[in-house]
Every structure is written in C-alpha cells, then in structure tokens.
Structure 1
C-alpha cells in the first residue's frame, strides 16, 4: 500500500462519521437477522424515514449550533410554539376552522411558523452573542418561555383544524412512492450540508467553534455570525413545527418534551464535537437514525421499548468518549 493510501485509510478509520455509520449498519443487520420479514421491508423503511424527518430538520440546525461550541435547548419548545401560532393563524383566516382551507391559507401558515421560529432564534442569538449570556442559560430560559407561550395562547390544548390539503399532501402524501415529508427533510438536509461544507458561512462556523477569539482576530464577525446560527436553528425549528402539524393533523402542545435532547443526541452521535469546531451534516444523518432504528427494532423484535433510551445513552457516552480520546491524542502529537 502506498503512503498516500495508508494516510487516507488512517484518516477514514479515525473519523467519527465512519464509525457511527458502521454502528448504524450493524444495528440494521442485527435486527434484520432477527426479523427479516418485518425489518427489511419497504414499509418499515418508509415509516422510519417519516418518523425521523422532523427530528432530522431540528438536528440540522443543532449541528451548526454545536459546531460553534454552543447549545440550544429550546428547539422542541419553539417547534410547539410555531405549530400553535401557525394553526391558530390558519384557523382565524378561515372562519375558525381551516380544515377546508386552500393553499393560500397554508402558505400564510408556513410563513407564520417560520417567523415564529425565527423570532425565538433571533432572541437567543441576541442574548448569547450580544449580552454574552451562556447558551445553556439562554436556551434553557427560552425552552420554558416558548413552551409556556404556546400553552398560554392555546389555553393548554392542542389546536385542530389543520387544512386537509396540507395533511393530505405534505403530511401523508407521496411522490413516486417517497413520502413528501421525507423529501422536504432531505432537501433541508442537503442545503444544510452545502451551507456547512462549501460556503464561507460554514467555514466561519467551524472557525468560531475551534477558537472564537482567534476567529475574531482574523476579521470574522463573531457576534453577527452567532446570531445568524441561532436564527437558522430557530427557523428550522419553526419548519419542523409546521411539518409535525401536517403529519399529526394537529398542533400539539405535548409530545415534544424530549425533542431537544433527541436532536442534541443525534448530532453528538453523528460525530459533532460538544467542544466545537468539528462535525458534519452527513454524520448527523447517521446519528439521528441510530435512536430511530433502535426504537423501531426493539418494537419489532419484542424487546421492552424502555431499553431504547438505555441503549442510546451507552452509544452516546461512547461517542463522546471517542471524541475526547481523539482530541487528547491530537493534542499530544
């Protein structure tokens, strides 16, 4: 083997993304061997993809945040708030019940969801980048505030009246056999990967996460960039809220309590470092699907579903340990 090939092989073996991909393939292989009739089917693939679509959109925004060495605990609550404001707006535009509303009302609802997410993301960014309050504290506060605001304006109840045209097309509709919800999530993920991997915005995101002070000294507008990153996470949380509303046919104020933690776990499992400066959208894809495959596989093979968070916790701790080991080895070299 030539030195160049040895170097390439060494780099591939040392990447978190490769190892996480192998873990995901191993899980699929194990569950597939146990129940090939139920696991290795088109139906199981489709349902797993649909159930993971909303979380994947949240995780794309979270990837940018964590690469900057930040954290956003508010995305699940922003998802709830955005869904509630969107549903209530569509209902008000259609006489109190938007079930039979057309695409014009749906477009307004989408814009409201995105604007609602953007507002919370911008607030987070301002407090973190301008006021210099730690991201953990800021987003923990907005986690409670956004959820409380959503429950306040909806009187603590789920908001029904979601347009049929939205639910039937985006929520459960397909294009050439592929669920439209999955297509939308794939488009968002691809755009996120391009933004992170091929643009100046992506390079600045990595630079800030690696060394914020050094990034500032070379002329990167750190304050402005951090605000943009949290704004992006908020917008994607708003879009996720709209997608969840379309799928479940209701804007729910419950059932999203752990979405923020699931998104963070997926990003970290995918190889994005909690210390900042390293990560990828491709890795996040693999990381998000590990809990999804575990949950689906446990249900199919008849294992108590409560083992799923324990298994995810083990893999998550192992991923963080692996990241720390690589950092220590790199610092010593």
Structure 2
C-alpha cells in the first residue's frame, strides 16, 4: 500500500455488539417484557374482559396515586436511601387539605369553588413538604439512618392525621374537585391519569437530563467522591427527601379527589407498594442505578396482577405472593449483576 492510498474500510461491529449487550442487561427491558407477558397471559384467558378500554382506563386510574408516590421514591432509593413515611404523609396531607377546604366552605361541598380547591392543593403540598424537609434534615444534617428517620415519620405523620381528624375520615370534599379531577376526563382520558403522566414526565426529565439527576445518581454510587468534587451531599439529600414529601402531598390530594374523602385507613401499605414498584422497575436498593421509566413499568406489574386475578377469578390473596416472588427475583437479578460487574 502506497503512502497516498487509504486503508480499506472494515465494518465495525463493536457498536452493534455493545447495543446488544446493553439491551440484554437492561432492567427496564426485562421488566417491560414481564409486563407484556402478564398482559398477554391474562388477555388469552379472558380477552373479552382484559383487552378492553374500560379495563385499561380503570387500571390507569387506580395506579395514578401510587405512581406519583413512586416517582419521588425513585429519587430517594437511587441515593441509597429509603422513605417508609410516604403512605402516612399521603394520609396527613389529605386530612389537612380536606379540613382546610371544609373550613373555608363551611362544609358546603356543592357551593365551594376552584379557589377553595386551590387552597386545599397548597395545604396538601405544604404538608407533604414539611414532612419531607424534616426527614431530609434529620438524615442529611443529623446523620440518622434513613430507615430509622422515616420509620419514625411513618408513625408520627399517621398519628398527627388521626389527632387532627379524631381518628375518623374527613368528608365534605368540594364537588368541583371530585367531578373535575377525581372523575373528570379530557378527550376521554381521566384527569388523574393526565396529572400522574405529567408528574412522571417531569420526574423522568429531572432525573435523566439535569444536574440534579446526575448528582442523585452519583451520590448513590459514591457519596464521598461527590463530596470531594465539591457537591453538597447533605444539601442534595435534603432536596431529594423534600421532593418525595411534596409528591406524597400531591398524591394525598389526588386520593382525596378520587375517593371523595380523606381516609385514615386504606393506605397502610402504600409505602411498601411504592418501594416494590421502584425496585421492580430496576432501581437498585444499593443506590446509583434507576430510572423513572423503569418505575412506571414496575408499578404496573402489581396493578396488572391484581386486576388480572380479579378478572380471571383467582383468589386475590395470591396477588401479594406473586408480587413477592417477582420482587425477590428482581433484587436477586440486581445483586447478581453487581457481583458480575465487581468481578471484572
């Protein structure tokens, strides 16, 4: 070959091989396939009831509140933290919002307007933010483990809600809220679903395209390295738990709109369901790995199992067993992948 000649071009198979390897090890891909298999199985058993617009719509509505909780939980778990208090914060926020709206409207559900609803929303978000800020300060500034702090908040927020409501549900929710957000639709799509989708989209963009998201992943991977790079780890953790609290407050407001009452009971396992959905979606309990898109898929696995079991006539008590099996398998897969990566 002379000096002026160019070497023949050879096909580079590395990008294609790299793409295949990433797809094969993608948690999101595998969780998506599991979800599709579940839908296909239930659809084959009862195509007349499963593969319908009504079933899809009701499943989406029933999952909306949990999805909003799980978006905040995704950020927390990526930092290698945990938040056991979100279910209780949801209850507390719903109670405070309902009581604030009742105080303004005098308990007149039919006469209250959107100004009353806006006040309730602000109260719900502020209530959630207060608990989230408290959690963040105790974890990041006082150095108390997240498990202990949020376990304490779990009981304290629920107890505070029961004290405010005298241990009973708070009714009198304005009709404009329940009709507009709780059961209202926009071009046939439930407004609760649209709100949950908007929150999810913002959370996904925040986690994947911003400095806040990059710092969240980095802290979960190696907090000390992030601290040496000049990033305030404690300040960032406060913001993450604050975000989780705000979203728990919003979820409480959504539940209030849907159920027409601030329920003291009925949310006992929301925190565990949110954690399960996030982990099923591929977010590592060890921190540093996770995505909001994966969380969406993970949240819908228990929802599809619950709906499918009811439709095909399987005893509903099998549903938590099935979710537990899938959850343990997801954690085992995550640990196996981590061990394989560490051996390289």
- TM-score range, shorter-chain basis? over 0.9
Counterpart residue number, 2:341? 330
Cα drift, residue 3 of structure 1: 2.2
Q: 1:157 to 1:99 in 2, by over 3 A?
A: farther
Picking from 67, 78, 95, the partner of 2:89 is 78
Which residue in the other structure is 1:8 paired with?
19
Matches within 5 A, 1:33-182: 33-182=44-193
- Cα drift, residue 61 of structure 1: 0.0
C-alpha deviation, 1:23, in angstroms = 0.3
Deviation of 1:97 (Å): 3.6
Query: Aligned with 1:211: secondary structure?
Result: helix
Q: Does 1:297 align with 2:317?
A: no
Counterparts of residues 306-317 of structure 1 (less than 5 Å): 306-317=317-328
Alignment check: 8 A CA contact 1:271 1:284 kept: yes
Q: In structure 1, how many angstroms separate the alpha carbons of the residues matched to 2:289 and 2:192?
A: 29
Name the residue aligned to 1:193.
204
Contact 1:39 / 1:297 at 8 angstroms: preserved in 2?
Answer: yes
Matches of 1:117 and 1:35 in 2, distance apart? Answer: 41
Partner of 1:274 in structure 2? 285
Query: 1 CA distance for matches of 2:59 and 2:183?
Result: 14
Q: 1:83-113: per-residue Cα shift (whole Å, max 9, x none)?
A: 0000000000112344430000000000000
- CA-based RMSD: 0.8
User: In 1, distance between residues paired with 2:167 and 2:105?
Assistant: 22
Counterpart position of 1:258 = 269
Match of 1:219 among 230, 233, 250: 230
| Distance in 2 between residues matched to 1:289 and 1:99, nearest whole Å | 35
Which stretches of structure 1, 4 residues or longer, exceed 6 Å deviation after superposition? Answer: none
Distance 2:231 2:78 in 1: 16
**Greater Cα radius of gyration, structure 1 or 2:** 2
- Separation in structure 2 between the aligned mates of residue 157 and residue 201 of structure 1, nearest angstrom: 40
Partner Cα separation in structure 2 for residue 100 and residue 250 of structure 1: 17
CA distance in 2, matches of 1:51, 1:96: 27
Pairing partner for 2:245 from 217, 234, 251: 234
Unpaired stretches in structure 1, ≥5 consecutive residues:
none
- Structure 2 length-normalised TM: 0.96
Unpaired segments ≥5 residues, structure 2: 1-11
Q: Is the 8 A contact 1:90 1:98 kept in 2?
A: no
* Cα separation, 1, equivalents of 2:155 and 2:287: 25
Q: How many residues align?
A: 333
